[in-house]
Structure 1
Amino acid sequence: MINTTASNQSKQITLLQNYQKGDFLLASPKQMILGKGVFANVHMLNSHGIIEQMKQSLNQAKLTGHARPIVMGAIPFDFSESPKLVIPKEISTAAPLEVKKQVEWRKASSSTFEIKAVPDPEVYMEGVRKGLKAIDTDHIQKIVLSRSLHITSAERIDTHQLLKNLAYSNKTGYTFAVDVSLNEQKDTEPRTLIGASPELLVSKTGQKIVANPLAGSRPRCKDPLEDEQQAKELLESAKDLHEHAVVVDAVKKSLQEYCLELHVPTTPSIIKTEAMWHLSTEINGILKDPHVTSIELAMALHPTPAICGFPTEAARNTIQEIEPFDRGFFTGMVGWCDEAGDGEWIVTIRCAEICGRNLQLFAGAGIVTGSKPEDELAETAAKFGTMLQGLGI
């Protein structure tokens, strides 16, 4: 377990300031953690067998002199693709970020840029129609369909400033940055996965675990009365409550076999980010076996219906037929696991990949019976807002 000893604001901001491209950073409501340098890479061609490989890597690092080995990094949506995991040389932690106002907020991109939607809006809405047809004919209850924005800035994107902007405006969520450059990449331009996710996949501390699935969303409004009405409609929406229940039920079933106790609220609550309202259910449990690791729990849950659909395989196959791009690390997970098995894994949403002047944003929406293509398009547009605001676009 990581012991966070510093709770003063100066150390929190220092960790954020000390981030450099190539580092791992995760700022969560529990703590901020920064990993620098590479003590060892966790080499894997795909994510199958990842639990044993991570245990072996942690044991080997301990034997070769690492005082506190922790595996950190990102795992893709598709387990057949390669994860990006390392054991950093240096690990620093601090209490959760507590900044009462946005400090040092500046634009992170040029004022001149090009944006290309992939797919374009009409094609995305046609994909939603195909998803609804699959629900009607293929016994799928839910499918999550996503789209992306490709942004080219006239100048290099300031990854560090973007990370700070996201962290200062996302103190109740999970801000992250992970180097996802290919190991064999010869050029010097790193590729960074960066985001501000509202969703905890699972965390483990000793025998205690927490999962916090989100499903069912509404865009925020600038007008306070309209914003309050959006939240009220979300809590009363039969379509969104059904979508949420599908996700919570799947998470509950996945965790039950691991737990002595599992508390699942009967009705969802509501949470907000800068851009969205979400239906939320916090699930708490006590493990039967304290040696079960956070990564084992995360792999048992992934992919939840919140980012894939249900039933999983049917939804995943339909996603591959409809979406015109490879998700990569989007809707995968980002996090860490230490030698005791404790850790924290976040659903990789509200995110982008950055390489030099190029940035690819991602956003998705859950499709169920009753979904409307134009509403799902609007939802993805609102979800892009988290990253676009961080960039200053």
Structure 2
Amino acid sequence: MIASDSFDIQVTKVRNKLLHVCLERRIPFVSYQLPEKSELSTLVQYTVAPRKLKSSVEITGATGFVVAPFEGSGAFPITLLEPDFIHTGNSPVDQIIETLQKCSLFLGTKSESHPMHEASSSEFTRQVEAIKAKIKEGVIIKAVLSRVKIETEVSSIDTIELFNTLCQAYPHAFVYILQMPDVGCWIGASPEPLLLVSDERAKTTSIAGTQVLGNRMVSDVKWNAKERDEQAIVTSYIENVISSFGITNVEKIGPYSYQAANLVHLKTQFEFDASTIKPLLGKFIVALQPTPSVCGLPKANAVDVVLSVEKHEREYYSGFLGPINIEDNTAFFVNLRCLKVVPEGFAFFVGAGITEGSIPGREWEETSHKMMTLLSVVNSVNTSSKAYVFSKTRN
């Protein structure tokens, strides 16, 4: 055990050294841990800037790491990092660090700062009622309302330490830290796979409905009609997308209660032969994302309602991200439980599904509980660490 712990510490030190120089010199990179995996991968691109894609259709056949926004626009492009260097385990980094320290291509490049609007609880209530009115009119069946909270009491937070702590705290999530031009620096621990393709099998997931687990066992959680309806909407949508691509022999498991940190959700999993979608991967993602779990249904109407009601830009929150064709595996996750590093501190993004039976106060509480997934870890990080501290200004 002691030898293993010593090895893990050494691996972390080596990786931290690499992340430090990438952050310091603003070099595009991503470091991530897949669910149930102890090994982390770090991808660095330093010879040219990551590629901007016009549509997710273009990811078919690509290799690297994709980060895509909730809703495509010029301000928040779909970005593909095509790595010049991949680091795993305890492989040496001295030579690549020497190379990166000589790299001047990305020095001084910062993402444009976009103003962020923080909704108060009263404004959030009005937004919930506006969505419920659209549901009553028959425009939509469901919409997901998000909000942003900027936490300013986080100067001196070590972003690398935060990332490492999240990896330890949430081994069942997709944990990442990334930095790219026009994207910014994001950190997250997403519990929701969008599409996993490994060997010849593909998996996608329907997750909706949220409760605080508290002191209960997962098996003791009971779901009301509103929560089950919310889950059924997402599940039906995904089934229709799968069917539209002519995919048959789909194995469906669920719905069942699924724990994600201090929360529990309703989850249904689909698994099928990947041969049909591999040559159409981009088109499949376009059809799938955004799912009703992050926007609503019908998709087009729900997106319009969300964009008209919300007063902030979601940016990359509730979009998707993940490695594509890295070691023959593709793993896309919905970008949930995430934060963005901003001049004031950290911007937390959270959301809740609004249906006809939604009660505004409860939806506000749900977003607050979701925020604690990251905020509790942020609060636990030792701010006196002498490792790299991301520079921030405070109001």
Q: TM-score band, normalised by the shorter chain?
A: 0.7 to 0.9
Name whichever of 19-28 and 127-136 sits farther off.
19-28
Please name the residue that 1:264 is paired with: 252
Please name the residue that 1:389 is paired with: 376
What is the TM-score of this pair, normalised by structure 1?
0.78
Q: Please, which runs of 5 or more residues in structure 2 have no aligned partner?
A: 1-6, 91-115, 381-395
State the distance in 1 between where 2:206 and 2:310 align: 23
What aligned pairs does 1:286-325 form with structure 2 within 5 A after superposition? 286-289=273-276, 291-292=278-279, 294-325=281-312
Alignment-mate amino acid for residue 37 of structure 1: Q
Please name the residue that 1:192 is paired with: 185
- Cα gap change, 1:349/1:154 in structure 2, threshold over 3 Å: closer, same or farther? closer
Please name the residue that 2:106 is paired with: none
Query: Would you say the 8 A contact 2:251–2:272 is kept in 1?
Result: yes
- Cα gap change, 1:94/1:294 in structure 2, threshold over 3 Å: closer, same or farther? farther
Report how many aligned residue pairs link the two structures.
337
Please name the residue that 2:233 is paired with: 246
Identity %: 21
Query: Would you say the 8 A contact 1:260–1:285 is kept in 2?
Result: yes
Please name the residue that 2:77 is paired with: 82
State the distance in 2 between where 1:13 and 1:258 align: 45
1:96-154 C-alpha deviation (Å, 9 max, x unpaired): xxxxxxxxxxxxxxxxxxxx981011100111111111111134111000111012246
Q: Please, which runs of 5 or more residues in structure 1 have no aligned partner?
A: 1-7, 59-69, 96-115, 184-190
What aligned pairs does 1:1-393 form with structure 2 within 5 A after superposition? 13=12, 17=16, 18-20=18-20, 21=23, 22-29=28-35, 31=37, 32-44=40-52, 47-48=54-55, 50-52=56-58, 55=61, 58=62, 70-80=63-73, 81-93=76-88, 118-153=118-153, 155-182=155-182, 191-221=184-214, 224=215, 227-228=216-217, 232-234=220-222, 236-256=223-243, 257=245, 259-265=247-253, 267-289=254-276, 291-292=278-279, 294-338=281-325, 342-355=329-342, 357-392=344-379
Question: Following TM superposition, by how much is the alpha carbon of 1:273 offset from its aligned partner in structure 2, in angstroms?
Answer: 2.3
- Cα gap change, 1:117/1:91 in structure 2, threshold over 3 Å: closer, same or farther? same
1:255-300 C-alpha deviation (Å, 9 max, x unpaired): 23153421123x4111112221111112111134374365443333
Find the residue that maps to 2:279 and give its secondary structure: coil
State the distance in 2 between where 1:201 and 1:94 align: 26
- Cα gap change, 1:367/1:151 in structure 2, threshold over 3 Å: closer, same or farther? same
Find the residue that maps to 1:249 and give its secondary structure: helix
- Cα gap change, 1:372/1:153 in structure 2, threshold over 3 Å: closer, same or farther? same
RMSD: 2.7
State the distance in 2 between where 1:14 and 1:338 align: 27
- Cα gap change, 1:277/1:15 in structure 2, threshold over 3 Å: closer, same or farther? farther
State the distance in 2 between where 1:361 and 1:82 align: 20
What is the TM-score of this pair, normalised by structure 2?
0.78
State the distance in 1 between where 2:31 and 2:331 align: 12
- Cα gap change, 1:209/1:359 in structure 2, threshold over 3 Å: closer, same or farther? same
